[in-house]
Amino acid sequence: MEMNRTTQPSTTIHVYGDSILKGIVMDRESGQYTPMREDDFAPLCRKYDVDVVNKSKFGYTISRGWAFLSRALQSAKTKNAPLCDMMILEYGGNDCNFDWKAVSDVPAGDHLPMTTLETFSDTLKTMIASLREMRITPVLVSLPPIHAQRYLDHIVATTPGADREHILSWLGGDAQMIYRFQELYSSAVTKIAYECGCLYVDLRSAFLDKHNYPSLLCADGIHPNEDGHRLIADAFLAAAGKREPGRVLFTA
């Protein structure tokens, strides 16, 4: 049931994430990344009495996100003013990425992701604890799936000097290793959401439930396209009406 806007206070939600929840799409013709006219939360704001402030940043890893968020929390503490009621955290897509030029140059070497899974998990737990200390309700989201072969094509096409066979060799001859590694980070988010008792929106399942989910991704294989973002918007709307035991994701 929709809130009575004349009698109920608005809920303020801040979003800290990367280009996914920023609503960045890749233009098929130019190959340039541009923001959509309307982000994934506009339908939510129209339906419910919520105010969404999207602080997501293109290319951000969880470490950069935490540095950005910690400054905002410290500023709120200094001013003794509330930052928001809820915060959606969406990281992992850049954290699980690699320096593909380095991989291509030394395919027999050991290469670490931008953020190790251990550091990613520890940082996410720190963010959750810090939000709760400020009486902000954290909301975690799983990562939309990627299309590994399409992303490999994109890596080779956009990384000067990249050698497809060298990269494939490092991947063990299987491009799907890129998908599985990204899935590790999404699974870590899901696990932490349950371990920490966080509210949770399962974007990944919303995509995987579709038989044609690659059609919901841009040509780079990693960013949802306009149709994919409509699916994300629908997932948040559905979550807003879904009641957990004793909790509601968004007050509605």
pLDDT at 250 over 70: no
pLDDT at residue 243, as a whole number: 56
pLDDT at 249 over 80: no
Q: What is the DSSP secondary structure assignment for residue 216, as one 8-state letter?
A: G
**Mean pLDDT for the stretch of residues 221-225:** 98
The mean pLDDT value of the chain amounts to: 92
| In-domain check, residue 6 | no
| In-domain check, residue 1 | no
Partners of 198 in the beta sheet? none
| In-domain check, residue 107 | no
pLDDT at residue 67, as a whole number: 98
Percentage of the chain beyond pLDDT 90 is 84
In 3D space, the residue among 191, 189, 186, 76 whose CA is nearest the CA of residue 136 turns out to be 76
Instruction: Tell me the pLDDT tens digit for each residue of 185-206.
Output: 999 999 999 999 999 999 999 9
The residue behind tokens 């870590």 is: 188
| In-domain check, residue 86 | yes
The answer to whether the beta carbons of residues 135 and 81 sit under 8 Å apart is no
Higher pLDDT, 48 or 92: 92
pLDDT at residue 5, as a whole number: 40
Helix, strand, coil proportions of the chain in percent (round to 5)?
45, 15, 40
* Number of neighbouring beta carbons within 10 Å of residue 211: 7
**Mean pLDDT for the stretch of residues 74-87:** 94
Instruction: Tell me the pLDDT tens digit for each residue of 107-123.
Output: 999 999 999 999 999 99
Taking the chain, what is the end-to-end CA distance rounded to the nearest angstrom? 6
Structural element, H or E, at residue 244? strand 243-244
Tokens of 168: 């494939």
The answer to whether the beta carbons of residues 235 and 203 sit under 8 Å apart is yes
Structural element, H or E, at residue 154? helix 148-158
- Which residues neighbour 241 within 8 Å (Cβ) at sequence distance 6 or greater? 252
Q: What is the DSSP secondary structure assignment for residue 71, as one 8-state letter?
A: H
Q: What is the DSSP secondary structure assignment for residue 10, as one 8-state letter?
A: P
| In-domain check, residue 166 | no
The residue behind tokens 């990281």 is: 91
Partners of 141 in the beta sheet? 201
Q: How far is CA 41 from CA 13, 179, 197, in A?
A: 10, 27, 23
| In-domain check, residue 168 | no
- Which residues neighbour 75 within 8 Å (Cβ) at sequence distance 6 or greater? none
Domain ranges, residue 69: 11-95+112-157+176-248
* Separation of alpha carbons 62 and 138, rounded Å: 15
pLDDT at residue 242, as a whole number: 65
pLDDT at 222 over 50: yes
pLDDT at residue 109, as a whole number: 97
pLDDT at 2 over 50: no
Number of domain units in the chain: 1
* Separation of alpha carbons 171 and 178, rounded Å: 8
Instruction: Tell me the pLDDT tens digit for each residue of 122-164.
Output: 999 999 999 999 999 999 999 999 999 999 999 999 999 999 9
* Separation of alpha carbons 18 and 56, rounded Å: 5
Q: What's the CATH number where 217 sits?
A: 3.40.50.1110
User: What pTM was computed for the model?
Assistant: 0.92
